[in-house]
Structure 1
Amino acid sequence: MANNIIEELEWRGILKQVTNVDKVLFAQKNKKAIYCGIDPTADSLHIGHFLQLVILKHFENYNFKPIVLIGGATGSIGDPSGKSEERKLQSLNIIDENAKAIKSQLNSLIPGVNVLNNKDWLGKYLFVDFLRDVGKYFNISYLLNKDIISSRIESGLSYTEFSYNIMQAYDFYYLYKNNDCFVQLGGSDQWGNIVSGTDYIRKQVGEEENNSCGVTANLLLKKDGTKFGKTETGTIWLDKNKTTVYQMYQFLLNEDDENTFKLLYFLTFLSKKEIENTIEKHKKDPKNRHAQKILAKSIISFIHSEDDFNSAVKISEAIFNNNFNDFSEKDFKVLESVIPVLTIEDNETLLSLNDKHNIAKSRKQLREFLAQKAISVNNNNGFDENYIFSKKEGIFNKYFIIKKGKKNYFMAKFSDKGEK
């Protein structure tokens, strides 16, 4: 363990900028709070948020009190940071529902975190009062020099988004005064917003009494410059109902080596020696993907559980080896969220099932696959289109694993009607 939080973030390569190192160390010594903000644009956090949560946990390990501020108010405005065009505004009801879901998720991920919502204070502020009390401290020239604002002037920036910087600055001041919060954490694209907060606090309390400071982290970017967690099939969510544990495992398992090594420093709590040993072992046999497996175990165990990780590994290996013999009924229920599920009736034929679910695109193609033995049912392929699904031949009298080609899997399962 490093001597202080700054050293911890530095050796991990996470640290991007600090407004004042001495103030951060003062806050650590005096066990002050740190916060990061999350706007409720969806009903779940995604893997991109995970770095902020990991950093908050590091701060907690160095005696800070973590706060996550859900932007129930700012989320209704939209942060222009890192955006080339204005966000589409969501309804207030959806924002409220998203905020509730994220709060529940955060309490599960970091039990000691204090989850607040800036709607509780900004939502009560009258517009005229806010302009008089807060807006007068922000010079237009000062705001226009912010990268987050200047980068959008030519393409278009509404007054709504223009106001975001001021609202976030006030949030920091509110938490500073009411929650003993001296530090704000954000991604590197939040630097302008954070500095606005420390400047506003200084104007309110005076230079000598101002202990506020900000820390930014390097953004998690892939080689092509896109954000980590964005895939061709969509976002990797932390809610297992939106992204299954198996899908998250596959996503992490398929990261390239260079990015995986960086993520071991960024997204795990492994020591420097443990990370170095992991990378060294990986390089001796890269095809085994040892580093990716360690990364996946660390992340999935934190977000979900070690049992969920083990289940994802078991399913992954079963699919790779086409061997489901060791599966329990619980494993099959998990598998239902991983591969397509086809409902069957007792004594239904493969031909009938194909007509309903298009395992092959046509009857002719089905026969061609069967002739090539490219379709198997429970690892057997010596049958024709008249193969009959019967309970007595099903695994647990219920399940049939159909494999088409090398990578396409389906689960045939008796319907509720068929089970009676």
Structure 2
Amino acid sequence: MRVTRCKRVIIPLAGAAAVALALTGCTGDAPASSGGTAAAGCDDYSSYGTFTGSPTVNIYGTIVDVEADQLNQSWTDFEKCTGITIKYEGSQEFETQINVRAQGGNPPDLAIFPQPGLLASMVGGGYIKAPAKSVEDNVDKNWSADWKKYGTVDGTFYAAPLMASVKGYIWYSPTYFSDNGYTVPTTLDELTTLTAKIAADGKVKPWCAGFASGEASGWPGTDWIEDTVLRQAGPDAYDKWVSNDIKFTDPQITKAFDYVGNILKNPAYVNAGFGDVTSINSTTFQDAGLPILQDQCAMMHQASFYEAQWPEGTKVAPDGDVYGFLMPPAKAGDPQAVTGGGEMVGAFKTSDEITAVQTYLSSALWANNRVSIGGVISANKGLDPANAKSPLAVDSIKILQDPNTTFRFDASDLMPAAVGSNSFWKGIVNWINGDDTQTVTTFIQSTWPQ
């Protein structure tokens, strides 16, 4: 894998004093304090400083709805103890609007980038500031070299990882499977056989799906393709695809499109609870799995973070209302291979309060606080898996920490933004609407920057 190469821009960070942090899971340089007094019970946050005048740090990202509420909850104590107010704005138009705001001179203080390729393009435009040493020190301590690489452009570190997700989960009802004699498949061929069996039984459609996500519509379909490429073609081919050494029109990639298309473009297999094949594009990814709870569909493909979308009171467990199994390998005995995603926090501006927030978000303290709330995981090595709220979250953390797992970051997130967060998404929407694989892959490939 590689991050898109862009022009190197180094902008020094001003106004951050070097003070050693003594926090558990937080090392490096703390921001300068503006002289306030810390509230009682704030020992864990004392090294971030205390600020008078209630300075505000604005953060912009793609995280919305329930997950946005949980994100705001994760820094409540930090705000109380430091005197900094964090104002978060989530948008499904982030990928477009962050460019508009940056180019228009109205960027946020910090942005949570879900695509390293988009981050790299912002660095190339001269918009992103290199962070304080405290941020990089946290990343060196708490994250692997691969994760640091995703926030690094042309050898310069710009953005710290935040959350992580394991993609490729297939959500299902354990009770429904048990009642109907279905077993979790161990190969892609077995998944195909199971899909046909459920359809033939005629009780429910095998699959429900939703690709609608505002201006980012289509991304859940790219996850399907990426999971399949990694399993069928292997990690080396996957890496070459990300770097454009293997084209979208290559047989190894079109084979993955055809495998997924045999499921998602088959009206006998989708889209339970919503409509025909094309309803996949009008169904939000947040709603896509809900028919499983009504026994209207048997399976839905989505990442570990989908756990936050289940209604309150839903039991996520092997014996619960819903659970997930990983998309199986192509062949029995193949090593576990997973794709994953995550976010990088980059700064458009510099100040002591921005440094304090960026340092906190890169710490194990924040990771444990956020995972304890539920719904997400992190690849932060200082994270205690016991803080995860469900068996699936614990399993996901173990997968990320297992050195035997073949892990690859989401391919579209690593590709140039013109492809990964533009034509690939649009191509998937056109594909679901009826375009054939050759037309779609030729279109996507034509947009790769020269």
TM-score band, normalised by the shorter chain?
under 0.3
So what's the TM-score if we normalise by structure 1?
Answer: 0.22
Higher relative contact order (CA 8 A, sep 6+): 2
